[in-house]
Amino acid sequence: MNETAEPRRRTILVVDDEKLIRWSLKERLEREGYQVREAVDGKTALQHLQHGDIELLLLDFRLPDMDGLEILKVAKGRKPSPAVILMTAYGSIQNAVEAMRHGAYDYIKKPFNLDELVLEVGKAMETVMLRAEVSRYRSRDRAKFRIDNLVGSSPQTEELRRLVKRIAASGAKTILLNGETGTGKGLAARAIHYESEQSQQPFMNITCTALPETLLESELFGHEKGAFTDARNMKKGLLELAHSGTVFLDEVGDMPLSLQGKLLTFLEEKTFRRLGGTRDISVDARIIAATNRDLKKAVEDGSFRADLYYRLNVIPVKIPPLEERRDDIQDLIEHFVNLYNEEFKKSITGFDDQAMEALLSYSWPGNIRELKNALERAILLSESPLLRLDDLPYEIREGASAPEQVEEGGRITPFALPREGINLEDVRKDLLAQALRQSRGNKTGAGKLLGLNRDQVRYWMRKYHLPDPWQLASEEAIGS
């Protein structure tokens, strides 16, 4: 016969030197389903707190050996900290208010009504449970979005991880991420947040193209009751909710001009007003903006404010497209296969040679997002543990097809030697430059095109004084 485990009983510690009060509270709270412990003085209360399973304290302010404020400070210093409801006589109301400043949930005056106290305990326990739930979600997000999840072994990705870690530790308040759609700007933004000291604080994100202009302003800055027709209640905006945390503004390059000025004011003054409000609200939040647009060109054509661009561009970070870091493709494939095997309860062991060749040679114009979606589809629909070329989307099968090569006398002839002859060094330099452009600066990819290894490519680049495209892009991105 199967037995269902009983739900865990929430634990309350009653701290009071009056035996009758302890007995009456214990008897009533146990009838409500709580587990109740008792302490006659501060020393005993502190001993109970060391066990770490106390979720709520009913705490008398006046105890024989110490006052409740000392116990409150110890309780709130624990992780996770219990909720504390102070029990105080009429003459100690000022002390109770002081305790509220130190983190007490509430206070009740003696003599108290047991029914009212039970209701207050229930509310406090709901708060405890909500805080525990939020803590669990944040712990999950820290694991999911830590810097190790910027997957890849290419020099570009290693440099990106290093830069993200430095930014997270720097306390920088304004960061601008630039990169093509699907390159992982959102993941980089979350890595900055969850690697920082603010990781326990909120991470709020909004896509600036997802809402009409009026709703976007309300979502960012909030509104007062009656600010517009449907504003039946006051609402806090994302900036206010993210106090001490991070706000991620995705596609900021497409933000309406009318809102750009208000965002600039907030970035410069750290204050704003809700829609319909008259009071300035101060917020300390890190702003991470992201765009796939060239904001310099947007400034030139008048669709983006120059002053906002320079304010956002304090710490620019360039996220390179997947085509420029092809060494990451193998790592990303393994990462997503493991991810979807776990999520979909599959047992995909890998890809046959044709499928793997197609994945590695495809240009991935949609970047990591396209790769992720292609693998998700293939894994979901596959009936075999070994994925084949037919399991991949049509555009990848076709896009990975190599062009036909023309042969003469059994040899591939890419070009004919002109009658007047050529300078072989010039040809080598030109071919190397072409290969680097075609591989978007990826030295391993350029080497494959020329039959060279990575070290040989680096040697010829130094010999012919060819600049490193990735280094130039990095230096431009970080403003060095």
Output b/e per residue, 409-445; b: 16+ Cβ within 10 A. eeeeeeeeeeeeeeeeeeeebeebeebbeebbbbbbb
| 436-476 residue pLDDT tens | 888 777 888 888 888 888 777 887 888 888 876 545 444 44
pLDDT, position 77 = 83
The amino acid present at 58, given as its one-letter code, is L
pLDDT value at 91 more than 80: no
Distances (CA, A) of 99 to 49, 84, 102, 106: 18, 9, 5, 9
Phi/psi at 35 (5° precision): -95, 125
Percent of all residues in the chain with a pLDDT value above 70, rounded to a whole number: 88
- pLDDT, residue 434, reads 85
Please write the tens of the pLDDT for every residue from 287-327: 999 999 999 999 999 999 999 999 999 999 999 999 999 99
Strands 174-178 and 286-291: parallel
Name the one residue in this structure whose structure tokens are 């903006």. 289
For the chain, what is the mean pLDDT? 85
pLDDT average, residue stretch 342-348: 92
**Interstrand relation of 315-318 and 174-178 (parallel, antiparallel or unpaired):** parallel
Nearest to 375 by CA among 399, 361, 396, 400: 396
pLDDT digits (tens, 9 = 90+) for 160-202: 999 999 999 998 999 999 999 999 999 999 999 999 988 888 8
What CA–CA distance (Å, rounded) separates 61 from 91?
11
At 138 the pLDDT is: 65
**Residue 39, pLDDT above cutoff 90:** yes
Continuous segment of H or E residues that includes residue 82: none
The runs of H, that is alpha helices, within 326-423 are 329-344, 353-361, 367-381, 394-399
What's the topology of domain 423-477?
Answer: Arc Repressor Mutant, subunit A (1.10.10)
DSSP code string of 326-345: GGGHHHHHHHHHHHHHHHHT
Class of domain 146-320: alpha beta
User: Looking up tokens 């609200």, which residue turns up?
Assistant: 281
Least confident span in 33-37, 106-110, 297-301: 106-110
Please give the residue that has the higher pLDDT: either 455 or 42: 42
How much is the average pLDDT of 344-355? Answer: 91
Q: Please provide the DSSP assignment of 244-288 as one string.
A: TSEEEEETGGGS-HHHHHHHHHHHHHSEE--BT--S-EE---EEE
Torsion (CA) 148, 152, 158, 161 in degrees, nearest 10 = -30
CATH architecture label of 323-399: Orthogonal Bundle (1.10)
Residue 79: pLDDT band by 50, 70, 90 thresholds?
confident
Tens of pLDDT, residues 372-390: 999 999 999 988 999 999 9
Torsion of Cα atoms, 24 then 27 then 32 then 33, to 10°: 140
**pTM (global) more than 0.75:** no
Residue 480: the pLDDT is 41
- The pLDDT value recorded for residue 22 is 92
Residue 88 has pLDDT above 60, yes or no: yes
pLDDT for 1: 43
Residue 389 CB: number of other CB atoms within 10 A?
A: 17
Q: Is-contact 181 366, C-beta < 8 A?
A: yes
* Mean pLDDT value across residues 394-401: 74
CATH number (3.40.50.2300, 3.40.50.720, 3.30.70.100, 3.30.420.40) of 11-138 reads: 3.40.50.2300
Q: How many C-beta atoms surround the C-beta of residue 40 within 10 A?
A: 17
Distance CA 406, CA 216 (A): 57
- Residue extents of the structural domains in the chain: 11-138, 146-320, 323-399, 423-477
**pLDDT recorded at residue 334:** 94
Asked if residue 221 has pLDDT above 80, the reply is yes
pLDDT in tens, 233-274: 888 999 999 999 999 999 999 999 999 999 999 999 999 999
Q: Do domains 11-138 and 423-477 have the same CATH topology?
A: no
* Number of alpha carbons in the 13 Å side-chain half-sphere of residue 460: 21
Provide the pLDDT confidence category of residue 406 given band limits of 50, 70 and 90.
Answer: very low
Name, in order, each residue with C-beta under 8 angstroms of 121's C-beta and a sequence gap of 6 or more: 12, 29, 32, 34, 56, 58, 85
The predicted model gives 412-430 an average pLDDT of 71
